[in-house]
Amino acid sequence: MKKATLYLLVISLLLGSSLSVYAQQVNLTLWHIHTNEGAAQYTIQDAIRRFEADYPNVKIEEVQIINDEYKTKLMIAMGANDEPDIFMSWGGGPLETYINAGKVWDMTDALNNEGIYDNFLPVALDLGVVNGRVYGVPIVNMASALVWYRTDIFERFGLEVPTTYSELLDVMEVFNKNNITPFALANANKWTGSMYFMYLVDRVAGPEEFYNAMMRVNGGSFASEGFIKAGEYLQDLVRKGAFPRGFQSMDEDLAQSRNLLYTERAAMYLMGSWAYGTIKAENDSMLEHLDFFVFPGIDGGKGDPSNLVGTPGDNYFSIAQKSAHKEYAAKFLGYLSDDTAAQMLIDNGHIPPFGSNIGERISDPMMQKIYGAVSGSDTVQLWYDQSLPPELAQVHLDTTQALFGLEMTPEEAAKTMEEAAKRYHNEK
């Protein structure tokens, strides 16, 4: 009798414990694009480690997907109802597509309950907010496109940093005469060349030009004078030999652009401020010759020369509507945006879009300079390909690449873009 009770007790204990473990074991999948070592990857992996230590029953499976393939993979996963619990986007247009398809969880209340809503800088959080509700939180970097340059090459030819567009053309001429490519550009990726176009549109016609065309307000059009003129400026740069041989087929992800910079074959490099961290990791001996300036203003143009093109948060992390463990995912986002994460980003050359007193916590002089440019600018134009819905973003990238290849006239490119926008918005 006694033995039987004992057995029963042992069995029930065993069953009970295994059942409870089974019930609590939680698996979360996380997708992001940081395949290379660096600030973002370190920070994400560190947050996972700290989170898993505090919640031993939760296991986060981290999946890294290369940048150019990421959007496609995510879209296919969503189409098959197989999306990960936590995923990143770049906010703006693409995120809205996912939201409209009912794929993204409204995490406003969860963020408030967990007390992490106030972690984020409002200006950065904006891109993850639709109709006043939060669907994505900014994690990685306040990034802007800046003109990086080699100070030693500028000194060799006694050149000053150009402050106007015509000065920039003069500088280019000197480089071309001395067999140095003015700008290192790898344009197979298309978004790289898009940076030049975005700056030219802003400098020629001001930030409203794109806003009006995108939102279809105030008679805005992608075929407007401003876009055509920007296209003309762009093709003028190409004709003047601003870019390296073969730039249309070169791949930014393979560092083909930066290799020209490292080997002193190119002098300047228009790229997001993350380039500082990348160069630091790839070739830190170049840092002593590295500096940046903001894309110069065009004489007679409408855009303020301090306007920047970039993103206030870079990556926006969202939680899938179909995830079975949204509350854990939300708790994890707290770890991804706490002070430890912010410090880790700063230490590795990023400016976190969350946390307090960021400006004071940055000690690296170059990063202070970047922070100064970013916080001192009134207008930061979000990348076109992240503002626009994916279908139009792709048309923008394709037509811009065709402009670079001199295969379309600025008028044709502008017309193609406007027609696509009309078709998208069902306008006649």
Partner 1 sequence: MKKLEQLPWYRRENFVISLFLIPAAFFFVLYIVAPIPISFYYSLFRWDGIGQKIFIGFQNWSELMRDPVFFRALKNNFILVVVSIIVQLPFGIGLALLLNGGRWWTKPLKTIYVLPYLMSSVAIGMLWRYVYEPTFGLVNMFLEAIGKYHWIQDWLGDPKIVLYSVINAINWQFIPFYMILFMAAMTAIPEELYEAAKIDGASPWKSFWTITIPLLMPTITNAATLSLVGSLKYFDLIHVLSGGGPSHASELLATYMYKRSFHHFRMGYGSTIAVALFTIGVVVSSIFMRSARRKEYEGSAL
Residue type for position 376: G
**Does 401 engage in binding with partner 1 (CB under 8 A)?**
yes
**DSSP three-state, residue 376:** coil
- The helices-and-strands tally (H runs, E runs) of the chain is 20, 13
State the Cα–Cα distance between residues 63 and 232, nearest whole angstrom. Answer: 42
Q: Is 427 in the site for partner 1 (CB under 8 A)?
A: no
HSE-up of residue 26 (Cα within 13 Å, Cβ side): 19
Interface residue with partner 1, options 100, 112, 178, 356 (CB under 8 A): 100
* Closest separation in Å from C-beta 390 to partner 1: 5
Q: How far is the CB of 241 from partner 1 (least distance, A)?
A: 13
Of 40, 47, 48, 78, the residue at the interface with partner 1 (CB under 8 A) is 78
Angle formed at CA 65 by CA 63 and CA 66, multiple of 5 degrees? 155
Q: Does 322 bind partner 1 (CB under 8 A)?
A: no
- Collapse the DSSP code of 139 into the 3-class scheme (helix H, G, I; strand E, B; otherwise coil) and give the result: coil
Among the candidate windows 97-105, 278-286, 314-322, 363-371, which touches partner 1 by CB under 8 A?
97-105
Q: Which residues contact 395 (CB under 8 A, 6 or more apart)?
A: 416, 417, 420
Contact present, 354 and 120 (Cβ < 8 Å): yes
The tokens of 225 are what?
């004078």
Q: Which of 15, 66, 79, 324 binds partner 1 (CB under 8 A)?
A: 79
CB of 192 to partner 1, least distance (A): 13
111 counts as binding partner 1 under rule CB under 8 A: no
Q: How far is the CB of 201 from partner 1 (least distance, A)?
A: 20
226 binds partner 1 (CB under 8 A): no
Contact between 251 and partner 1 per CB under 8 A: yes
3-state SS assignment for residue 251: coil
- Distance between CA atoms of residues 349 and 38, nearest Å: 9
For position 407 contacting partner 1 by CB under 8 A, the verdict is yes
Amino acid identity, position 77: A
Residues 122-181 within binding reach of partner 1 (CB under 8 A): none
The residue from 82, 118, 236, 391 that contacts partner 1 (CB under 8 A) is 391
- For residue 112, what are its two tokens? 């408030």
Does position 257 bind partner 1 by CB under 8 A? no
| Cβ within 8 Å of residue 282, ≥6 positions away | 255, 258, 262
Min dist CB 333 to partner 1, Å, is 23
Length of the chain: 428
d(CA 234, CA 301): 15
Which residue shows structure tokens 């041989």? 245
- State the residue for tokens 């400026």: 233
Minimum Å gap between C-beta 270 and partner 1 is 18
Q: Is 390 an interacting residue with respect to partner 1 (CB under 8 A)?
A: yes
Q: Does 319 bind partner 1 (CB under 8 A)?
A: no
Q: Cite the beta strand spans of 75-122 per DSSP E.
A: 86-89
Total residues at the site for partner 1 (CB under 8 A)?
37
Rg of the chain over Cα atoms, rounded to whole angstroms, equals 24
Of the candidate residues 50, 216, 265, 369, the single one contacting partner 1 (CB under 8 A): 265
Out of 246, 359, 372, 376, the only residue in the binding site for partner 1 (CB under 8 A) is 246
| Binding stretches for partner 1 (CB under 8 A) | 71-72, 75-76, 78-79, 97-98, 100-101, 103, 187-188, 244-251, 254, 256, 259-260, 265, 390-391, 394-395, 398, 401-402, 404-405, 407-408
